[in-house]
Amino acid sequence: MIEWAATGIPENPGAWITTAARNRAFDRLRRDHTRSLRLAVNPVERSFLQGRLDEVRRRLP
């Protein structure tokens, strides 16, 4: 929304907010995933975590 002050209100503010929230959620998933992979020492645990991330990605639009 800070950007709106400089560029003006977008044509579809609801879509803009939805896209921003979705991108933020993806960033959070990536960050959590990377952190969990660094902490996972067991290869089985690492592949399980990768599978969970893939599952979440398939459910998102």
Mean pLDDT of 27-49: 77
CA angle 23, 6, 24 (to 5 degrees): 10
What is the pLDDT confidence band of residue 50, given thresholds at 50, 70 and 90? confident
Q: Sorting pLDDT into bands at 50, 70 and 90, what band is 41?
A: low
Task: List pLDDT tens digits, range 9-32.
Answer: 888 889 988 998 999 999 998 888
Task: Give 19's Cβ-side CA count (13 Å radius).
Answer: 7
The predicted pLDDT at position 1 comes to 62
